[in-house]
Chains A and B, each alone.
Chain A
Amino acid sequence: MSMTTLAERAEIRAMARELASRELTPRAAALDAGDQDALHECWRLLVELGLDRALLGEQRAGAGLGTADLLATIEELAVGDAGIAMSVLLCNTALAALADEQLAGVPTGTRWTLAPAALGTELRISDGRLDGRIACALGAYDADGLVILPDGPAPLAWTLDTSAGGCKIERDLAQMGLRAAPAASIELAGVSCTAALSGADGGSAELGVAGALALLRAGTAAIAHGIARRAREMALEYAHARQQGGVAIIEHDAVSDMLAAMAVRLACWPQVAAADPAGLAIEEAQALAAKIAATDAAVMSTTDAVQVFGGTGYMVETGIEKLMRDAKYCQLFPEPNWAAHRELMRSERSGRAA
């Protein structure tokens, strides 16, 4: 893993910001409407920049970004479209969980995803075959490969070919948010799978199960922060332009109070710092706390942003209500925040016991 300099880090962030504003924001409505051409075009651009495997080391044909850089990049992408940012996060996490020999078989440009089999999911593994069902797996529809993280303390993730026999993937048509990471329900009937080795266990993968979950949570926090930034930008612009009662609505305390609260939430965002800025390790409790705080803040800020827009904000064409839906999905992924609270306390209790 190479160490990025401050200048390189700023450059990466600027590149992601440019991509978001030039390519993603203009396509956000089409992506939300499920336009597959827009999705493929965005993915092509991301692959061109190497963002699909940014987290992988250079020896694994990746860009070698550390966690901090990846999270900053994802946040910038989320300002343009949160679903695309989620796809990038899921693909990077899935590929980073693969062992060298597994990764070697993954063609460049393919889109992988990682499905944490959380609460209520029943998965059974026997003789290298998976049975069960996962509902609403983000990014799983039309994905080229899938890594499944079982619920509980299991040390292994499982990887499977989505075109394998017995694997039935159906588009989740009810998906409300993050629609550029198209969700699917996955039915598994004796699907052949391979264990993805845990890095912590000495395998060649860059992430272990715990590391992958921590990265998903920290990444979701970064996406939520990007959504909240975009919501405030749009609300602020509208509040200056829209007049009610003879003045711009930003002159009304009722509106300026909401904008101020959005700014406060952005300023108080608990950024996740990797223990080693160049490395991948994220403390579990820190990632959980960041995810809970950032996603709750994003839901509040996007809800307020729609309120600033009033009736106009409730209309799909303005694009502000989409942010509210995206933020709500961040609150529910990889687990609902109430379950994240429970995990946080489990983590604290186990730390104390140790």
Chain B
Amino acid sequence: MTSIARERSLGEQFPRLAANGGLDAPELQRLRARARRFAEEHLRPRALEIDRRTGEEPGWFDWNLVRAGAEHGMLSFLIPKPDGGAGGLATQAAVVMEELCAACPGIALIFGAHALGISPLLLGGPSQWDGVLAELVASECTGEPQLMACAITEPEAGTDVEDPDLLRLARITSHARRVPGGFRLSGTKRFISNGSVARWITILMPTDPRHAAETWTCFLVDTRSEGFAVSRVEHKMGQRACPAAELTFEDVFVPAERIVGREADGAAATTIVLACSRPPVGAIATGIARGAYERVLDWLHEDPTAKGLLERQHVQLALADMEEEIHLARQLYMDAATELDHAALGDAMSHPVVRSLAHVPASIRGRAPVRGWLHSDRARDATIALLHRTTSEHAVTRSLALSSMAKARGGDVAMRVTGAALELAGLRAGPVRAELEKLWRDAKLTQIYEGTNQLNRLEVYRGLCHEETIQCLPPLRRIHPDTDGKTRTNAHAHAHPDADTDRNASANGDGGRS
């Protein structure tokens, strides 16, 4: 079935974006074309079958799709180029997600959740770029790909763990206990996309459960570790191809070098990760809306049971409304992604120090002295200092607000457009009805995950209406508890007189938001 809508170039439709080097930037176009080809060849033909199968058997997972995705580079588009990836940021992730979700949001989520799992590692600095990221690229090349996941939500704490203020009051029950050489992780994480199939998981837990927000820390967990278990796979309403799992941690040992970033920087890291991940979620929602629009348009043009409907003004108005909504949703997520990639984090990711470090051959970075330095407190502090020099809490807060706006509006658009498309087709529409119903079920999740739309809109208020600045960069100085339980101040942090202390004054305070 050919789609009239799909044949049009997005650049033709959106000249402003094209002029900005946005959607039509050659590299981005190639990535989009690759994602579309993968979606058309592998996702769309199997979307209904996999939805039905996983509806009956939620734990079932199709690794062949992951292998096919690996062949199209869908597992490494965020990984830095020197490590073998495509070096993409939020814009690339968003464009890929829209293309995949127009075909099947459930299968697309496998790759989206994988990208979310990678994000904290990218932001954790060069110490994180070797090892697992290189392993992921290698696995992609060998045809036995590995997946990642990110675990934040807990049974008693969901939306509130995604907001630094609410996190202080959240009922966190997990705990990372300090032991010689690292930490032992205990607790339960819930609704973790890819949780049951991931090889590696970036996970957030407090090192002191009495002060969860202040000690919220990101760890990289090997799912082959003793004590890790998948306790259940959820039966979801939609986006079923990607399993959502409950994960149990019983004294799972994580070596100290697998702290992502620094201990207790988790709340700030979560904020930045959400600023990065919400534009792609807006794109997921846009893709779902586009998928429904394209299907109903095809049906109206081609199906005998829809004969004459296109001549009715009601139908024409409904289609025009869908076009408008999709256009605006796409504009929002592109604006948010561009803001993040260029204004908020662009300077950090393209800083000469980062670039030159990335060009040091992996064989040298892997040598014990270099590796030891990269994982030292000094190197981790230097990463934070560089972040402070290249961006500001104001810029990240604004970026988070735009990202949240794109996510919330996109989710609403997905619900409206899929609902309207289903209503146009009705119960009598034949095979397209099942596809539209699936997209409608899939769409609902976009109003919930990555923080409910309500929470996202509160972020929009804080960042844009009230012009607050959230404490979203890890502080320059960090108190490091020693393995013996005593604490010491990191002297290195004091040795950064060139840090933009005025711009980042709030980062050193404890007031949360300024």
Contacts and interface: CB of A to CB of B under 8 A. Distances in A.
Given A174-B434, A310-B452, A316 B236 contact: yes
B230 interface: no
Interface string A325-351: 100110111011111011000000000
A119 to B, nearest CB: 6
Contacts of B440: 328
A77 to B, nearest CB: 21
Nearest to B425: A336
Contacts of B419: 299, 328
Interface string A111-144: 0000000111110000000000011101000000
B217 interface: no
Contacts of B307: 120
B188 interface: no
Interface residues on chain A, size class = 35 or more
Interface stretch (B4-12, B136-144, B158-166, B484-492): B158-166
Given A120-B306, A176-B437, A332 B415 contact: no
B424 A316 contact: no
B427 A338 contact: no
Nearest to A333: B427
A324 interface: yes
Interface in A235-263: 243-247, 252, 254-255
Nearest to B237: A321
A119 B437 contact: no
A136 B426 CA distance: 10
Given A119-B426, A310-B448, 10 more contacts: A120-B306, A120-B426, A121-B305, A176-B441, A306-B448, A310-B158, A328-B440, A335-B426, A338-B318, A341-B314
Contacts of A134: 428
Contacts of B447: 307
B423 interface: yes
A244 B429 contact: no
Contacts, number: 126
A262 to B, nearest CB: 15
Contacts of A176: 437, 441
Interface in B395-452: 415, 419, 422-430, 433-434, 437, 440-441, 444-445, 447-449, 452
A36 to B, nearest CB: 16
Contact of B160 (A245, A312, A335): A245
A303 interface: yes
Contact of B422 (A173, A252, A332, A342): A332
Interface in A65-93: none
Lowest 6 A-B CB distances belong to which pairs? A246-B169, A254-B454, A120-B305, A245-B166, A174-B434, A136-B427
A51 B452 CA distance: 42
A174 B433 contact: yes
Interface in B6-55: 48, 52
A338 B166 CA distance: 42
Contact of B191 (A121, A122, A311): A311
15 contacts: A120-B307, A135-B429, A136-B428, A174-B437, A244-B170, A246-B166, A246-B171, A254-B455, A255-B454, A303-B444, A306-B444, A314-B444, A324-B237, A331-B423, A332-B427
B56 to A, nearest CB: 10
Contacts of A336: 423-427
Contacts of A324: 237, 444
B358 interface: no
B152 to A, nearest CB: 11
Contacts of B235: 315-317
A247 B166 CA distance: 10
Given A245-B169, A315-B235, A338-B318, A254 B458 contact: yes
B233 to A, nearest CB: 11
A310 B423 contact: no
A152 to B, nearest CB: 14
A245 B167 CA distance: 7
B423 A316 contact: no
A342 B444 contact: no
Contacts of B426: 118-120, 332, 335-336, 339
Contacts of B448: 306-307, 310-311, 313-314
A199 B256 CA distance: 82
Contacts of B234: 315
Contacts of B305: 119-122
Nearest to A183: B427
Contacts of A315: 191, 234-237
A244 B166 contact: yes
Contact of A325 (B306, B433, B441): B441
A169 B204 CA distance: 53
Contacts of A255: 454
A136 B424 contact: no
A342 B315 CA distance: 12
B437 A342 contact: no
A82 B424 CA distance: 23
Contact of A135 (B158, B427, B445, B449): B427
Interface in A276-333: 299, 303, 306-307, 310-317, 321, 324-325, 328-329, 331-333
